[in-house]
Amino acid sequence: MRLNSLLVTVIVGNIISLSSFAANASIHSSGNFTSNGQCEAYQSFRKQTNPDNTQLVNNKQYAIKAINKKDFDWVQILIPNASPAMRWVSKSCGTTQFNSDDLTKSSTSTSTSTSTSTSLKTSSKSCDTRNDFDSYVLALTWQPGFCEHVNYKGNKPECTAINDGKLNITNLTLHGLWPNKASCGTKYGYCDRYARLDLSASTIKDIAPWMPNFYYQTKFGEYEWKKHGVCQNLDANDYFLTATKLVEKVDASAIGQFIKANIGNNVSTASFKKNLISHFGANAVDRISLACSQGKYLNEVRLNIGKSFNVNNNLQELLESGPKGRPFYGNCHKKIHIEAAGK
């Protein structure tokens, strides 16, 4: 009896052990994980251990090694400089793009799992396919408001120069001309992850007043080209020169005029919108939205325009060619401040 009892204990113990292992086992995967913030990277997501306090670098791409389950909420990635290098991050900390073979392997017979797998598979293909977009977002920066009030990461020499009074920017500048696909939300991009920016010296000179990072380096332009520019068909020189013409057009319009007339002042978003409606009409203004730091410092104006726009059209025509976007006030309060250059 003692022997039988012992055998039962061992067998039951092994079953429990194997069941526990199966429940906790991860699923091998491959693909890319692009971070959207500085999240913690854990050695164990269950214990929340992070021995060397490793955090993700915003907008950096990491290789995916595993997911914690089919309907996953944790992703294991490789961070070469971390110790250990294999780390778990929350799914919400970035965008996952799996290799299609892995998605097929991890699909199951249940309708829920199959649906999830198909959704991920479609997303990985359709949100990074070149020229597969339906409109553009023209994002324009009010540089003094951005440089003084946005907690940007890294060094921006143009902001240092503006805040020190060495560079005076009194025009709207180019953040980016972004191909946009409605079904992808904000995830359409990175259509060629090995792309490199190659601009002529004359193009850089023409861009600099409208994208002042180019006065000092091309780092920001390289980022915008790799993330957004490669998803459309123009070459780099034509793409940035076209974007520059659009910025000039908006800066010379009622949008730029209102901002420059109120430098250093507090204004209401309602009065800004009313002013623009008087120039472009309500239908066009439905394609414009604002962005503010802390809700009160204007730092960006975004315009939705059509995919096949004509850069020579007037601004109202450009706007009416695009889809409606978020509300005009965006994330801004009812009263906002239009910052002057320099601290």
- 219-227 and 236-252 helices, crossing angle to 10°: 100
pLDDT (0 to 100) of residue 343:
65
Average confidence (pLDDT) over 236-252? 98
Q: Is the pLDDT of residue 124 over 60?
A: no
Average confidence (pLDDT) over 281-292? 97
pLDDT (0 to 100) of residue 48:
77
pLDDT (0 to 100) of residue 102:
54
Q: pLDDT above 70 covers what percent of the chain?
A: 84
Rg (CA), the chain: 25
pLDDT (0 to 100) of residue 133:
95
CA distance linking residue 213 with residue 201, whole number of Å: 14
The distance from CA 242 to its chain's CA centroid, rounded to whole angstroms, is 21
Q: Is the pLDDT of residue 250 over 80?
A: yes
Q: What token pair was written down for 302? A: 């975004």
Q: Is the pLDDT of residue 107 over 60?
A: no
Please state, in angstroms and as integers, the Cα–Cα distance from residue 84 to each residue in 73, 124, 240, following that order. 21, 28, 41
Q: Is the pLDDT of residue 21 over 70?
A: no
CA distance linking residue 85 with residue 325, whole number of Å: 41
**Residue 101: which pLDDT band, with cuts at 50, 70 and 90?**
low
Average confidence (pLDDT) over 234-262? 97
Q: pLDDT above 90 covers what percent of the chain?
A: 61
Please state, in angstroms and as integers, the Cα–Cα distance from residue 309 to each residue in 2, 102, 138, 179, 182, following that order. 85, 39, 12, 12, 17
Helix (H, G, I), strand (E, B) or coil at 341: coil
pLDDT (0 to 100) of residue 202:
96
Average confidence (pLDDT) over 197-219? 95
pTM above 0.85, yes or no: no
Q: Is the pLDDT of residue 99 over 50?
A: yes
Average confidence (pLDDT) over 48-56? 82
Does residue 185 or residue 280 have the better pLDDT? Answer: 280
Residues 297-306: pLDDT tens digits? Answer: 999 999 999 9
**Residue 23: which pLDDT band, with cuts at 50, 70 and 90?**
very low
Q: Is the pLDDT of residue 185 over 90?
A: no
CA distance linking residue 232 with residue 216, whole number of Å: 26
